[in-house]
Structure formats: structure tokens, C-alpha cells
Chains A and B, each alone.
Chain A
Amino acid sequence: MIAEIGLGLLWLAAGLAVVQAFLGMAGLRQPDRPDLGGAVRPVAVAQAVLVVAAFCCLIYLFIVSDMSVKLVAANSHSDKPMLYKVSGAWGNHEGSMLLWVTVLAMAGAGIAVAERRVRRDTLIATLMAQGLLALGFYAFLLLSSNPFERLNRAPQDGQGLNPLLQDPGLAFHPPTLYFGYVGMSVAFSFAVGALVTRDVGPAFARAMRPWVLGAWIMLTLGITAGSYWAYYELGWGGWWFWDPVENASLMPWLAATALLHSVTVLATRDSLRAWTVMLSVVAFSMSMVGTFLVRSGVLTSVHAFAVDPQRGSFLLALMLLYIGGALALFGLRIGTVREGALFEPVSREAALVLNNLFLTVILGVVLIGTLYPIVAQGFGQQVSIGPPYFNPAAGSVALLLVIAMVAGPLMRWRSDGMKAVLRRMAAPVILGVVALVGIKVLAPDIGTLPWLGLAVAILAAAGSIAPLWKRNLARTPLFTWGMVIAHLGVAVALAGMAVDSAFYKERLVAVDEGDTTDVGPFSVRLVSVEPIIGPNWTALEGRVEARRGDGAPFLLTPQARNYSAPPTDTSEAAISTRLDGQLYVVLGKQGQDGRWQLRLWWKPLVTFIWLGGAMIAIGGALSLVGRLWRERRSPRGGASA
């Protein structure tokens, strides 16, 4: 019964999306009938309420393990811990698409209730675009991916969830990414709304900014969490593989980062009008390209998820409709939008343009590199594009980007003097050069990219806090603090990547119980291997004692697990976090001579990667709160950013 109610609610919500789009259009056509446009807001809210209720129905079905529902039977099992029953609701294609529209509708309701900055007609046009957008996703769900489909005969029990997905990571990682993707759709709707009413200006930028910022925070968290999840789950100590699915989540982030900065230029200086609108469309299209790459099975990936070419075709059709439509509107309309202000060659906006340029180039490199194998195959060649291409090609531009990131906040809006900028940059640049030489002297064998990366990280760390120099810290606005922390986070993450790549230590050995080996500064002893039983798995657990020099020993317990539903072997790495890095231990197979395979890594400063990611997100959050706070106090404010 609950499944039928859920499906009914979904149909009703889809119907309301149609109403929302039509009311919006009618309201724009007949400005003399304010009741038409005025009705759009409550309809958007009602649509959100209905789809949230539908999503709750699905979660309920997973909680009670209703095996007569196809989705539950295919992805759940009554033995599963409660956390994974609930998160199983979105650990599959249909459920995750329902989560997508749920968040989309909630964002629409949020705009309808809270947005007061843009012109009334622009708001109506934006909500109209939101309604149309939601409609496409409802069609996708109801026509090709119905999450509430029943089975003719309910099986005894479900098939279970892939063990690799039975992890707290699943409860957290996909929803955060979806919030990010959907937040980009809000920026997209705003851009379409502004194009429809030719209202591209600072007010539009200020209305869009919190959504871009919010989405960007979520993408940052999602990518950071995903990276850490892959790091401890895949069991070889890697944290980024340039896999198509990883790139699929990186591309919207790159576009969102560029958009975040260009929207600030538009809000503050009324410059970059067409470019900001363009980026909003690009950012959302990258979210859809990302979803497409993950779902369509076009490229082979370690992380392939719910692959189905038919769904890929549906997503492609949606993209053609929405992105194609928006770009056509762009071509038609942007010529009639008054051009924004030009800018001086030495100014903060020039630095931000440089930032946008570098980000866009990285985006282009990642996009083309990811799709290249498909193109090459069309010409009869099978090629693989991986880290040896992306690291130098995208990494070198990323280093330039980080240097531009340091320069931007040290420059004044409108116009600045070259000499003054150089004076402000002097200390970080000198520090960077000293680091460049020092590192090469201390570690002559270091690879080029880690070497430059570490030096630039040191330059960036100093440069990021430079804007606070000689400032009254108590009176420094919250959003400036946010920027400083986020930029510092970039430096921290970069340092983590460079140090881990350059100085990690690996030890692969076969040992008897009681044997001692070493990795980096640690001596490691395999004490024993014992069988243990978990809720829905059995495992062999290694008891591994590690100590650094004469320090106190500590215990790590890597496991080789065996799940029964579905039958799968996994290895659970044991990770011990120290102040200066992580010790990573994996228990392998037992050889015929009775010795156990151990894989050990000492990964110095590897934690900085995710710490930096978290700092970037926290900086974003501070900035968001700071902006909203300031705008509440002075509705026209933000000009002094």
C-alpha cells in the first residue's frame, strides 16, 4: 500500500511541476495578471512537500524490508544493519534519482519562500525553469526508473547490497554530491530566468551566489568524502585515480569554483555578465554529463554504478532539451543584454578572470581526456588516458591556478598598481622560492610535480593568510575569513598530495605470525590472525602491533571479510592516524607455507588532503553565513566585498 501511495504522490508532484511551469509562462505573458505569477510560489512549495513525502515512503519500504517492492528486493536484505537499510534507499539508480528530484523540489521551494532580491518577473521565470527542469526528471523516474515497482511474487529475502557499499560512506557521500549537483541546477534556473527577462546584473548575481556557494560546499564535501572512502575501501592506499567516474564529479566542481568567483565579480563590479550566465549553464551541464558518465556505462570504471545504456539515452535527451535549450536562449538573448564593465589589467577582477581561465582550461583538459577513449575508438583505436596524462596536463595548470589564487585577494578591485601588488606578494613569493631550492637540496630524488606542488603549497599557505596582515582581526568580515580559510585549505590539500606522492613508504611482505617487519619509521609485528563473525559477514582478522622507534605499541586490526549476501570477499584496511600521517595495513591471503601477505604503507601528511578539503568547505560555509548575515542587515549590501 505504501508503495502505491508513494507512486501516487510522485505523479501528483509531477502534475504540480507542469502547473508550476505553465503558471510561470502565463504570468510572464500577462504581467497585468499578478495572480498568475503569484500562484507559482505556493505551487513550488506544494510540489516539494509531495515529493518529500514520496521519498519518505521509499525509505519506509526499505526500513520494513518490504520485499514485494522490486527495488527493495534487489538492493536490500533483512539481515542488514539499519543504517544500510536506510542508506540502501539511495544506493541504487532509481532511489538516487528520486533523491535528486526531492532535493531539486526542495531547492525550488526554498527559492519560492526566501528569495526577495531579484525582480519579480525574474523570480517567476526562474521558478518556471525549475518546474520544467523537475518535469524532465519526473518523466525519467516515472517512465523508465520507477522506484516503487512491485514484484508479482515477493522473494523470501532480498539480494542484499554490494558489500563495498555497506559503509558509512554511502550514507553520506552520494547525498552530498546530489545536493551539489542540484544546487547547480538552481544556478542554471536563475541563469535561464535572467536570460528570459534580460535581467543579468548584480542583483541576479547576488541572488544566485548563495546557491552556487551552497552547491559548491556540498560538491567539495562530496568529493573529499568520496576520495577518503575510496582510499580506505579499495585497499591499495590510492586516493585519486583519474577514473571516469571521479572525473565526472570533479568537472562540476571545477565549473562551480569558476562560477563562484565570476559571480562575485558580477555582484561587485557588474562585469563578466555573459560569462557568468555561460558558466551557470556549463556548471549544470557538467553535473548532467557526470550523471550520464556514471550511469550510462559508456566508459569502463572501477566505480561503475547502476549502468544501463537506456537510461543513458534518456539523460542524453534531457541534456539536449535543457542544456541545448539554454544555450540557444543564450545565443538569442545575450546579444541584447547590455555589456558589463571592462576591467583594468592590474585589478582583483583581472586576477579572478585569470582564475576563471585556468579553471576552465583544467575543466577542458579533464573533459576531453575523459571522453577521448570514446572518440579514439570511433577511429578504431583503443587507448587509455590515465594519471600519466592528467597529472602533468591538469596538474601544471592547477599550479598556475594556485599562484593566481594567492594574487587575487592581495589586489584591489577596479584598479591597482603593479608595484604595490608585488610588494604585498613579496613575502609569500620569497618563501616559495626558498622552499623550491630547499626541497631540492634536502630531497634530490623528488619528482617534478610533487616538488613544484610542495613549493607552491608553501607559497600559497603564506599568501592565503597575507590578506589578514595588519588588519583588525575582530573587524574582519566573516566572508573574508571564509575566503582565507578556503584558500589555506587549498594549500594544505596540495601539500598533502605532494608530500604523500613524494615520500610515502611501501612494504609488501609475507610473514609468519609473530614475525616483525618495518615500514618507514615503524616496526610492525603480526601478532596473530583470528576468525571473527560480524552481523552479515565472517572474517579473518589480523592483529598487528606497530610502534615507532621506542614509542608505545598500538594495535591495528585489518580484516579479510567474506559476505554471504551477495557472496563477496573484501579486505578492510586498518588505518592508524598519527599527527604526521597514516599507517595503512591490509591483510592479504595466506600462502601454502602458512605465511600471511601483509601490505603496509606509511603515508606522511596524507590526512592533509582531506583536512584541506574540509577547510575549503568550512571556508565556504563561513563565507555563505557571512554574506547572508550582511545582506540581512543591509539589503542592498555586498558592494564592499
Chain B
Amino acid sequence: MRVLLPLLFLLSAPAMADSRMEAAPLANVQLKDPAQERQAKALMETIRCLVCQGQSIADSDAEMAGDMRSMIRERIEKGEQPEAIRKWLITRYGDWVTYEPPLSSTTLFLWSLPALLLMAGGALALGRIRRKR
């Protein structure tokens, strides 16, 4: 798919040395309730890892991603809504932290892009159709 040379170079940089601590309690352990775990997992897949930047925290080996996973699982377990947690993170890290661009005046263009392109292209193609007499 790419010149997909997976260099986790940020991870191996010295500044990102690992601590000697174990992973946070729920970093790599699922919630008991499968419905809650599904909610947590869906949220984690859309939160961008701050250390290894090109991945979601669900796919990252970075310790901070593990800490964030653990935090998300704990808060979901306590009954918090995933969107509330996303909002909480956005207040701290800005829109950057979510892979799901929130609907705003700037992203409205992005979300309407498929429809816009379909209409423009469709109009162009219609011009080439032979009309029935």
C-alpha cells in the first residue's frame, strides 16, 4: 500500500525511552462488559497517539498511549459517555487529538466533498451523452 516502510523512528528516539514501570492497569486488559469494551475500543481507534503521532492509541506501543487507553477504559467502566471523554481530550489537546474531524465551518467543506465532487464530475460527464432525438 505505500511505500510503507514502517519506521517507528519516533519510538526509538532516545527521548522516548521507556520507563521501568508496568503498563497501566487497563492499558492492555479489556473491560469485563463486552458492550463497554466495544465503546472504549471504538473511541480509542479515533484518538491520535501523542508520542508516535501517525497512529491511533489503539494501535500504539507507546507507554503514553497505554496510559490513555487505561484512562479511557476506566472512565467508560464508570459509565462516562465516549463523546464526553473525546470532548474532555479536545479541551486539552485541541482537534488534533481526534481523527474524526468535528463538524465545524472549516470541516463542513471536507464532509460535503464527496457530494460536491460527484455533482461537478456528473455535470461534466452529462455533456458527453448523446441526446435522444
Contacts and interface: CB of A to CB of B under 8 A. Distances in A.
Establish whether A and B are touching in the complex (CB under 8 Å): yes
Interface string A374-410: 0010010111111111000110110000000000000
A389 B101 contact: yes
Nearest to A233: B6
A237 to B, nearest CB: 8
A250 B98 CA distance: 23
B58 interface: yes
A112 interface: no
Nearest to A390: B99
Contacts of B84: none
Contact of A227 (B1, B12, B99, B106): B1
Contacts of B100: 386, 388-389
A301 B58 CA distance: 16
Given A304-B7, A383-B95, A388-B100, A353 B128 contact: yes
A384 B7 contact: no
Contact of B61 (A177, A235, A393): A235
A364 interface: yes
Interface stretch (A57-65, A146-154, A310-318, A588-596): A588-596
Interface-centre pick from B5, B54, B99, B106 (highest chain A CB count, 10 A): B5
B88 interface: no
Interface stretch (A34-42, A240-248, A527-535): A240-248
Interface string B30-68: 100000000001000110100011111011110000000
Interface string B3-34: 11111110010000000001100001110000
A302 B55 contact: yes
A229 interface: yes
A417 interface: no
B33 to A, nearest CB: 14
Interface stretch (A365-373, A458-466, A469-477): A365-373
Contacts of B23: 589, 591, 597
Interface string A567-596: 010010000000000000000110110000
A143 B6 CA distance: 28
Contacts of B106: 376, 379, 381, 383
Contacts of A235: 61
Interface stretch (A24-32, A502-510, A627-635): A502-510
Contacts of A290: 2-3
Contact of A229 (B4, B7, B8, B22): B4
A376 B6 CA distance: 26
Interface string B61-82: 1000000000000000000000
Nearest to B29: A508
Given A164-B8, A389-B101, A588 B28 contact: yes
B12 A353 contact: no
Contacts, number: 198
Contact of A508 (B3, B30, B96, B98): B30
A342 interface: yes
Contact of B97 (A229, A384, A394, A566): A384
A397 B114 contact: yes
A345 interface: yes
A246 B6 CA distance: 11
Given A384-B95, A387-B99, A342 B6 contact: no
Contacts of A386: 46, 48, 56, 99-100
Interface-centre pick from B4, B54, B60, B125 (highest chain A CB count, 10 A): B4
Contacts of A588: 28
Report the contact-size class of chain A (Cβ under 8 Å from the partner): 35 or more
A365 B130 CA distance: 29
B113 interface: yes
B30 to A, nearest CB: 5
B129 A343 contact: yes
- Tell me if B's interface is mostly helix, strand, loop or mixed: loop
Given A235-B61, A302-B55, A591 B22 contact: yes
B7 A305 contact: yes
Contacts of B56: 241, 386-387
Contacts of B41: 506
Contacts of A244: 54
Interface residues of B, number: 51
A393 B113 contact: yes
B129 A350 contact: yes
A189 interface: no
Given A353-B125, A357-B122, A381-B106, A245 B2 contact: yes
Contact of B113 (A230, A353, A368): A368
B130 A303 contact: no
A248 B46 contact: no
Contacts of A224: 1
A623 B96 CA distance: 45
A412 B83 CA distance: 51
A538 interface: no
Contact of A385 (B8, B54, B110, B128): B110
B59 A234 contact: yes
A249 interface: yes
Contact of A300 (B3, B54, B114): B54
A508 B95 CA distance: 29
Interface-centre pick from B2, B59, B98 (highest chain A CB count, 10 A): B2
Contacts of A381: 95, 106
A5 B2 CA distance: 32
A294 B101 contact: no
Contact of B96 (A245, A303, A384, A571): A384
A272 to B, nearest CB: 8
Interface string B114-133: 10011001100100111010
A509 B29 contact: yes
A304 B113 contact: no
Interface of A: 91, 96, 162, 164-165, 170, 173-174, 177, 222-224, 226-227, 229-230, 233-236, 238, 240-241, 243-250, 271-272, 290-291, 294, 300-305, 342-345, 350, 353-354, 357, 360-361, 364-365, 368-369, 372, 376, 379, 381-389, 393-394, 396-397, 506-510, 566, 568, 571, 588-589, 591-592, 597, 599
Given A369-B113, A389-B110, 18 more contacts: A177-B3, A223-B1, A227-B4, A240-B1, A245-B3, A250-B2, A302-B54, A342-B128, A357-B122, A360-B117, A382-B96, A387-B99, A393-B111, A397-B114, A507-B30, A588-B28, A589-B23, A597-B28
12 contacts: A164-B7, A165-B5, A229-B4, A229-B6, A241-B55, A290-B2, A290-B3, A303-B54, A372-B110, A384-B96, A386-B46, A568-B12
4 nearest interchain CB pairs? A386-B99, A388-B100, A302-B54, A249-B2
Interface of B: 1-9, 12, 22-23, 28-30, 41, 45-46, 48, 52-56, 58-61, 94-101, 106-107, 110-111, 113-114, 117-118, 121-122, 125, 128-130, 132
